[in-house]
Amino acid sequence: IVEARMKSMLNEESFDGQTAVTPRVGIIMGSDSDLPVMKDAARILDMFGVPYELRIVSAHRTPEMMFSYASSAGQRGIQIIIAGAGGAAHLPGMVAALTPLPVIGVPVRASSLDGLDSLLSIVQMPRGVPVATVAINNATNAGLLAVRMLGVGDADLQARMSQYLEDTKHDVLVKAEKLEK
Ligand code: RP5
């Protein structure tokens, strides 16, 4: 069922980053129910032409898979992991404990507590094991942060991020001008 839902979702959208090219970013999530939120990170990586992989890896339901994913990601060429989870959202923190790669956590708003449970579960990491936590349901920012991190060693990508900021500014100025009329 999970595979079917992922496939239908992936077919609907054009996730161009999912090619045979070695992925630089791993987007993982605790459940297929996180996909509607997490696909925004994939959209950003597509937009910037960053190859990525998208996987369901649950800290609680598939702990062995989480262990092998996190501990082998670096050797496979993954440079950054974006991990989204809701509720008792242990996935980003556990993954950060198992890899030296930077981990970006996305608190997914689950069925109760408005996502505050997910946010606190992800952001309150103990000293020594950091997770860069974005706002609740804001996988877009997780994608953008990953692009910025990769941009440190990739001048092309950094130039595209500068252009993105220019475009964002332009959009706001156009809207502001319209409002003034
Ligand atoms: C977490 O539990 C997942 O990340 C998800 O946000 C939440 C609910 O999962 P499902 O019951 O919808 O599979 O592990």
Q: Please give the distance, rounded to the nearest whole angstrom, from the Cα atom of residue 167 to the centre of ligand 1.
A: 35
- How sure is the predictor about 42, in pLDDT bands with cuts at 50, 70 and 90? very high
Atom of ligand 1 nearest to the CA of 32: 13
- How sure is the predictor about 12, in pLDDT bands with cuts at 50, 70 and 90? very low
Q: Please give the distance, rounded to the nearest whole angstrom, from the Cα atom of residue 53 to the centre of ligand 1.
A: 20
Q: Please give the distance, rounded to the nearest whole angstrom, from the Cα atom of residue 44 to the centre of ligand 1.
A: 23
Q: Pick the residue whose CA is nearest to atom 7 on ligand 1.
A: 86
Please tell me the predicted confidence (pLDDT) of residue 20. Answer: 63
Q: Pick the residue whose CA is nearest to atom 5 on ligand 1.
A: 86
Q: Which CATH class is domain 2-154?
A: alpha beta
- How sure is the predictor about 60, in pLDDT bands with cuts at 50, 70 and 90? very high
C-alpha pair distances (Å), 85 with each of 22, 71, 101: 25, 19, 18
Residue range 15-23: mean pLDDT, rounded: 67
Ligand 1 in reach of 87 Cβ (< 6 A): yes
Atom of ligand 1 nearest to the CA of 84: 4
Beta bridge partners, 8, equal none
Place of tokens 């877009």: 140
Q: Please give the distance, rounded to the nearest whole angstrom, from the Cα atom of residue 158 to the centre of ligand 1.
A: 34
Probe residue for ligand 1, chosen from 29, 34, 121 as the CB with the greatest number of ligand atoms within 8 Å? 34
Task: Give me the chain's average pLDDT, please.
Answer: 92
Ligand 1 in reach of 28 Cβ (< 6 A): no
Tell me the whole-structure pTM to 2 decimals: 0.90
- How sure is the predictor about 2, in pLDDT bands with cuts at 50, 70 and 90? very low
Does residue 150 contact residue 113 with C-beta atoms inside 8 Å? Answer: no
- How sure is the predictor about 21, in pLDDT bands with cuts at 50, 70 and 90? confident
Q: Please give the distance, rounded to the nearest whole angstrom, from the Cα atom of residue 111 to the centre of ligand 1.
A: 9
Residue ranges covered by each domain of the chain = 2-154
* Interface ipTM: 0.97
Predicted confidence (pLDDT) per residue in 83-116, tens digit:
999 999 999 999 999 999 999 999 999 988 999 9
Please tell me the predicted confidence (pLDDT) of residue 113. Answer: 95
Predicted confidence (pLDDT) per residue in 116-147, tens digit:
999 999 999 999 999 999 999 999 999 999 99
Q: Pick the residue whose CA is nearest to atom 9 on ligand 1.
A: 31
Please tell me the predicted confidence (pLDDT) of residue 14. Answer: 44
